[in-house]
Chains A and B, each alone.
Chain A
Amino acid sequence: MAEQIVRLVGVSKHYAEMVAVEPLDLDIVAGEFVVLLGPSGSGKTTILSMIGGFAAPTAGRVLIAGEDVTDLPPAKRPTATVFQDYALFPHMSVRSNVAFGLAMRKVPKVERHRRADEMLQLVGLEGFGGRGVHQLSGGQRQRVALARAIAVEPKVLLLDEPLGALDLALRRQMQEELVRIQKRLGTTFVHVTHDQEEAMSIADRIVVMNRGRIEDAGPPSRVYLRPASLFTACFMGESNILTGEVVEATSGVALVKTQVGTLNVPVPAAIGDRVTLSIRPEQLLVDHVGAGALALGSGTITETSFQGTHLRAHVAIGAHGGDLLLRAPAAAALAPGSTVKLAVQPADIAVLNR
């Protein structure tokens, strides 16, 4: 087991009448790229603030590198933050911005300017040191904010929705660069976002937050494909949520009666249990021939829309008004009114525990 660099132990945060974070535990391993993902008001930014020292937990302890830092101010913590609005020093040159943390650590001027230039090179802003902050574009300011934070060699880098203000193409590019820089430095990154695609593309581990609680935590593929909760299943992307009752149970397999028919689900259960299932739209198989797949029966396509990379379609299925969302290849010949046979691999059915 690798070293746990950040440990939140029973941490909670209350603001006057409102509970921002329910008591929770969270361990972050050294060198990990963790993304706190959730809608606004889910408590993700509050957790980041408590790690960085900008908010004091109502209860619980915050440990960084084995040391209890709960009562330490930001300046005394081995963390650095990249702020959402960048928070660059407007009256300083780019180089002085990046060198600020080193100046506070009394690093001599020549040395800190050398290191600032090194950091600027790392973030792709070589030669920008002499410019003023107001001469930079949004994407460039973002990079300066990143360079300024990593220049002090923090044990943990905290990123508060740093890519929110950038356009899509730039955001994609910065995501790749963040991963590249993180792997190169080996620093632990804790990144906050509400964008699940961003989370999946950069994270080693995603921590899904909702209403001040951790809904789910795990590698992106696991969180996406086998979400632990209903909230996670819906937040991570479109999904078909089926609820049903177990009508038959044998060792490890349950027969579940749902609105689209009766399904054999590989899950241990007892007769009479209510279960919630999630199937991703792209996991539905159309007119599938071959063994192993679980037939869902025939349905009629009611609506289609072309999405570029794929075709999105609604399928009416079963006698009880069941409606499934389907993602087919963009070239698929599906039109409203046509009939399709749907199937799913049993292993692709996720059973939601909450």
Chain B
Amino acid sequence: MKPRELVVILYLTLAIVFIFLPVAILVQYSFQDGLVPVPPFRGFSLRWYEKMLANRKLMEALGNSVVVGGVSSFAAVTLGFLAAYGLARGRPRHAGRLQFGLMAPLTVPYIIIGLGLLSTFGALGIDRSLLTVGIGHVVINLPLCFAIVYSQLGEHQANIERAAHDLGASDLQALLLVTAPMLWPTLLAAFFISFTLSWDEFVIAFLLSRFDVTLPVVMWNMLNSGLNPQLNAVGTLVFATSIGLVVLVAMLLMSRGGRRG
């Protein structure tokens, strides 16, 4: 092996270790056969997973996270898709500025969005709930969904829609029978990316929720009473779900690339 290659491999290994070591340790100590997730590692046990599954508060939060993630992602994808479609096909005046306006929220820190929504809901007299958390997640995910879908609405797709109109389809028929199904992998990918971001989003969920909370908020609350291997188990669950969804997205996008060829 040439020294050059050795350096590259060493660097890569260090980088990967740097990124994944904390997660690996988190996962390892979720199997801790002891009361605290700190060395020494006392061997393999699933008791903290059993505890986690028996923890009603946690399981409720898990359900809340799934609902908030699912519903808010569905809303974000739908709204983002319609915005992208309108901008790409309607060619409104100032399309460039509209695009900027739709994507600018990507640069706003979550805490600012959260505080802003908190004041707004307060002013409107709307109580904090899972609904407000969901609305917050639509706010952060809509720009992303818009950007993903907009990038896929090219001239070739426009021609395919023209063909549908030419064959007698109304605007709604073309949208539902051609545009949306044609973009199916993209829409699904956008949905899962949104879901992943909603799934482990903490700041907005913390600021905008009250009695019913999502998983990251429960984890935060549990942390207040100190380190506990059960937290590691929950963390492992959150991480595994995210990774699973990311892999799914990658596969969706790759299958799309394959079909184009």
What's the least CB distance linking A118 to chain B, in Å? Answer: 17
| Cβ-defined partner of B160 (8 Å) among A74, A80, A88 | A88
Contact between A90 and B182, CB atoms less than 8 A apart: yes
Assess whether B170 is interfacial by the CB under 8 Å rule. Answer: yes
> Which of the residues A79, A100, A134 comes within 8 Å of B259, measured between beta carbons?
A134
Q: Which of B166, B169, B181, B259 contacts A81 (CB 8 A)?
A: B166
Taking CB atoms, residues of chain B closer than 8 Å to A152 are 167-168
Q: How far is the CA of A80 from the CA of B169 in the complex (A)?
A: 12
* Across-interface contacts of A80 in B (CB, < 8 A): 166-167
CB-contacts of A53-112 with B (<8 A): 53-54, 73-75, 79-81, 83, 85, 87-91, 100-101, 104-105
Interface size grouping (class) on chain B: 20 to 34
Residue of A nearest to B159 (CB): A87
CA distance A204 to B142 in the complex (A): 55
**A75: chain B residues within 8 A (beta carbon):** 165-170
How many A residues touch the partner, as a band?
Answer: 20 to 34
Q: Which residues of A contact B168 (CB under 8 A)?
A: 75, 101, 104-105, 152
A73 / chain B contacts, CB cutoff of 8 Å: 165
Q: Is B184 an interface residue (CB 8 A)?
A: yes
Tell me, in angstroms, the Cα distance from A239 to B40 when the chains sit together: 93
- Least CB distance from A132 to B in Å reads 8
CA–CA, A75 to B182, complex, Å? 20
Q: How far is the CA of A134 from the CA of B159 in the complex (A)?
A: 17
Which of A52, A74, A85 makes the CB contact (< 8 A) with B159?
A85
**In the complex, A89 Cα to B168 Cα: how many Å?**
14
* A148 interface hit (Cβ, 8 Å): yes
What residues on A are CB-neighbors of B166 within 8 Å? 52-54, 74-75, 79-81, 149
Interface residues in B208-261 by Cβ distance below 8 A to A read 259-260
Taking CB atoms, residues of chain A closer than 8 Å to B165 are 73-75
Contact of B259 with A89 in the complex, beta carbons under 8 Å: no
- A166 to chain B: closest CB distance in Å? 18
Contact A89–B162 (Cβ < 8 Å): no
Contact B173 A54 (CB under 8 A): no
| 18 A–B pairs (Cβ distance < 8 Å), ordered by A | A74-B162, A75-B168, A75-B169, A79-B166, A83-B159, A87-B156, A87-B159, A87-B162, A87-B163, A88-B160, A89-B178, A90-B182, A100-B164, A101-B167, A104-B167, A104-B169, A134-B259, A148-B167
Q: Which 7 pairs of residues, A with B, have the shortest CB-CB distance? A: A101-B167, A104-B168, A87-B163, A87-B159, A74-B166, A87-B160, A91-B181
Given A83-B162, A85-B159, A89-B178, 13 additional A-B pairs, CB 8 A = A74-B166, A75-B165, A75-B170, A80-B166, A81-B162, A81-B166, A89-B182, A90-B182, A91-B181, A101-B167, A104-B168, A149-B166, A152-B168
Chain B residues with a Cβ under 8 A of chain A: 156, 159-160, 162-170, 173, 177-178, 181-182, 184, 259-260
